Chain A
Amino acid sequence: MAKWKSLNEMKILSSYYPRLDAPLKVQGKARYIYDISLPGMLYGAILTSPYPSAKIIRIDDSRVRKHPGVRAVLTDVHPTGRIRYAGEEVAAVAATSPEALQEALELFQVEYEVLPFVVDLEAAMDEKAPRVFSDRPNVRKPREREEGDIEKGFAEADVVVEREFRTQVQVHVPLEPHGSVVTWEGDQLIIYDSTQAVHGVREGVAKALDIPVSRVRVICEHMGGGFGSKLWAGRYTAIAARLSRQAGAPVKLMLTRKQDFLGAGNRPNSVQKIKMGARKDGTLVAFYAETYGTAGIATNANVRLPFIYQVPNWKHIHRDVFINAGGGRPFRAPGCPQASFSMEQMMDELAEKLGMDPLEFRLKNDPNTTRQKEWRIGAEKIGWSRRRKAPGSDPGPVKRGLGMAASIWWPGGRGTKASMTIYPDGSVEVRCGTQDIGTGTRTLVASVAAEELGIDMRWIRPLIGDSNYPYSGASGGSTTAPSVGPAIKNTAEKARAALLERVARNLGLAPEKLTWQAGSIRITGSQSQQLSWKEICQHLENEPLEVHGEWVKGLSSAGVAGCQFVEVAVDTETGQIQVEKVVAVADCGLVLNRLTTENQINGGILQGISYALLEERYMDPTTGTMVNPNYESYKILGAMETPEIEIILYDEPERGVIGIGEPPTIPTAAAIANAVYHAIGVRLRELPMTPDRVLNALYQEKKV
């Protein structure tokens, strides 16, 4: 099986090195999708429904078509004409300038039959609630999973805790909105898309337009963030392509920030009713959960319970519920922050009932050997012994507390292909149809190739973000590094072998006489000599070497374990929770680049804090629309909320590359909730933990 070099043999990988495209990005020279401008390009936009539930009766576009500057109009962008959420596509237009476009949008006259709607999770579960889909009830069939015998389990339990938790809808809103620039070259469609999956979008758009995949090319050189919301083709891309075909000109169609909030994905909410029991000695014996949640008009609001702990007898029943709101999409570790929020608080509550330290209780019930070590490392770093003070016992209005929670992740690497061309002058192109969503994939491609060839990264030109390049999957599920890294290594290995063979042939030597040595070839035997990289490549003469490689086993693995410890200060007069410090012990297998890895982990934690304390989609009950589709009132974390973060990279290089992007966002909200309890002695079981909730909880329980 393939193997990575050992750490001390590595010259580039596993160290700190800056990303290759950073200079372009800091100078504003990197062209994102929003920045692309093609000759004769039109500006496109989508008219969306202001109503959450309606039938489109008639669209009058006569005034739109007559408006100066308008070049294409579509009134059939909605597949059925039955609107199911405010923000759904109704019509589209392309015009010669942004101003003409704005004016044109106002000229559509749409007649709707406005229908009853439901936007509240619990209201939607009522038998009498309006149906989101007329042919299906709002509540979907339960999904049940179980192991062991929960009745027996609860019978064995000495202590049982039963609680209800709630988590909110979180919206991805990457800084670059969703959108595409498209152009037809004959019957070939070229799409520049802000995406996490050039190959996936290619297939999706081909299908939507009913054209062969081979006629579609998707390019994404730089894109401004996705977090799961850009994993597949959006309707807007096919709409842009149709506008472009109609107008005979390229079209840029970027969603507005508001449209991005309404219809470009979200993390579903959840209500979780959980009962859990343990024996006196601290062994978990039974777990029962009923959960439900809504992904709007989509499905999969599931919560990954019972999370990481070993419970011999457990059962989880989940129900998805439809409401008239934009569909959920995978969001950084789908289903996990929700599960961690409830389960880790249950763990603390049970520990308290048992009179055990939460750390001790976890060590007892966590089956993962890596995490067993990580818990101890993190506890040491945060100073867990300070957890002994009684909850809420600090004097004065500002109270501090400590909390902890675990993270987990599964997928590893998977099929990815790559190709490499080595030119006689020594320069190298590496092609892989992956994309860089901010994780540093472009740099990863170059660094793995350089490491394996034993040469400086300057020789390497990494080419990614184009569906013309060899297949690679979506950048999702933390699979990119474990998929792409091995594929590039495999390709480079093949290139080395091919080079060696070529040199041997040219020199008329048996290949066994030649060995690779850090970027050079050593020839043993009578005329012992060493060929430099340049000299090696000269042997290619006029024919560049091209090799293909792919993901192979042995260089990556699945399964990630980690944990976080958090210290908070809660102002009991204002309800403000301030995260003061986070210690993250991150399981990271073989780290390819420490700098970008740390950055990813920071990002995961900070998005977790944002989820814990700030973010929430608010749906108006009267109109069924989102009232805060903007960065002013949908509050995401900023500079002032960024605490001190200490990252401990728990390397296990022998495991190869694992995914690290998603796990760090899983435990943060839960750890904060546990720390808040320790600080104020009151549990918050609903996200986000905003000041109003903190104050209400404190005053209800008369803790102030």
Chain B
Amino acid sequence: MSSNVELENLNIRFGDFHAVKNINLNIRDGEFFSFLGPSGCGKTTILRAVSGFNDPSDGQIRIGGEDMLGYGPNERPTALVFQNLALFPLMSVAENISFSLKVRGVSKAQRRKKADELLDMIALSGQGDKLPSELSGGQRQRVAIARALAVEPKVLLLDEPLSALDLKLREHMRVELRRIQQKVGITFIYITHDQGEALTMSDRIAVMSHGVMQQVGTAQEVYDNPATPFVASFVGENNSIYGTVTRLENGYAQIKTCFGELTGRNEQNLAVGDFATLFIRPQNLSLMADEPFENIIETRVNDQVFEGEFEHLHLVGDRRNLVVSLVNDGNIPAFEKGALISVGFKSECAVVLPAGDMAYE
């Protein structure tokens, strides 16, 4: 039986507050699907609705084609990994993992067997008799995942499971999670505010802002072809330059900005006269050397920041600084603050989107 998750016209309100607005989505069977968005955008609310802790105010949630309304969390084919893990502190690691089996009346020996299997999978063999408090953060994390997997759910829901870990461990756990997902082959719905996590792990990503789903697509689609200014500014670093569309030409739009006329891809069918924002990524801006660029920005240096592999050059932009990311090949010139320089970019690297809300960190 398929276990795709369909959200149809999903709306969730808390009193007057509209937390989730009209989401339509089909999460495929066996997919690693992420909801990405800043905190407070309604990600947890969606996840809780899927797992059965709150009901949709409007619309439907279907798993494997079946409407889930009226099924409690204990009756759905889902398992939730909580943001704070919520391991049972008085139970051993093995008891935690096999808790769902105990509830289902599975015999003690079989429970132990299943727990050992799962402990193997999360590389914690032989640690079943410890208490959760005796494990490290990363180990506890894996126990929480194993506990949820013990139910053999069709859909595993993960609510920012890595947010409590430090950077190195987080990066390691990304790989680990992906490995586990491929091994068990079930649908994972993953929530995060960390675009790095979403981009590296997911088959597809839904970018959310204020309860609205901004875009759904693969990591490449979302990164390379952002559909809205919010996505363009939230996923990865981006420079934004405001203007009005002046000319359209086979898929490209030219806009008039304070730096003169600039051109980028017109994916959203803008018309002449529309207010627009041009987005160009820091690594796609280059210092003027000998290459002739279609687009040239002449402005002053604000700051030069050394980052190791990269050096970031902050330039005076139209509202915020423009950032140029230079690969540190050992001969980046030093710029004086206030010096006038020119940077250029290719039109195919830039995207022009209708003016709208942006994500500001």
Do A and B come together as binding partners? no
